[in-house]
Amino acid sequence: MQLLLEFFPVVAFFVAYQLGGMYVATGTLMATMTLSFAIIWLRTRRIPPMLGASTVLVLVLGTATLVLRSSRFIQWKPSIFLWLVAISFLVSAFVGKQTLAQRLLQPTLGDAQLERRDWLKLNFAWVLYGLIIGLINIVVAYSASESTWVATKSFGLMGSMFLFLLAQLYWLHRRGKLSL
């Protein structure tokens, strides 16, 4: 249910863009992110940090987009978010007992354990992913049409995240740490 609530705003953004353009899509994204945030809070009494950060960015940059009538603000949102995620993963390698990659993926492994150097490799992969995909978003935003950017944001970013997670699971499986 939570995963559906987190992806619903992306689908709503795409549909709203097709029906009414960037400003309608931005308003729709702001409303659906707020709605998803509220539903998750009411159900669990906690907000996943990534959802919280993403919602704040959507509200701030979405407001700038609507007030200033410039789609560039909302186009920067995925990059800023991904770069913040990359920085968080990087910092986690030096602060705390576990990297963010370990906190994210350890529950998937059950009793299997990885050495710290392997967690650091996975963590660094997240850093690279955030930096590279954030850069790709900016390149597409500035070099392609608005509709191409919307399609890339709506499906390309989700698809790249899905493939990235699959690659990490495969990497863990090849090391005998995960049964698929």
pLDDT tens-digit map of 134-158: 999 999 999 999 999 999 999 999 9
- Of the chain, the percentage scoring pLDDT greater than 90 comes to 79
pLDDT digits (tens, 9 = 90+) for 89-120: 999 999 989 999 999 888 888 877 889 999 99
| SS3 label, residue 23 | helix
91: which 2 tokens? 């910092």
Task: Please name the amino acid found at residue 106.
Answer: Q
Q: Are 178 and 112 in contact (CB under 8 A)?
A: yes
> What is the per-residue pLDDT for 134?
98
- Of the chain, the percentage scoring pLDDT greater than 70 comes to 99
Query: What does each C-alpha distance from 84 to 87, 91, 112, 144 come to in angstroms?
Result: 5, 10, 29, 24
CA distance 34 to 89: 25
Q: Read off the pLDDT band of 180 (50, 70, 90).
A: low
Domains of the chain, residue spans: 1-70, 76-180
Query: What does each C-alpha distance from 91 to 63, 98, 124, 128, 147 come to in angstroms?
Result: 30, 11, 10, 13, 35
CA distance 141 to 45: 36
CA distance 125 to 11: 27
Residues 6+ apart with CB under 8 A from 146: 22, 71
Pick the residue with more confidence: 5 or 125?
A: 125
Q: Read off the pLDDT band of 123 (50, 70, 90).
A: very high
Query: What does each C-alpha distance from 1 to 4, 45, 97, 152, 153 come to in angstroms?
Result: 5, 15, 30, 25, 22
Does the predicted model carry a pTM greater than 0.75?
A: yes
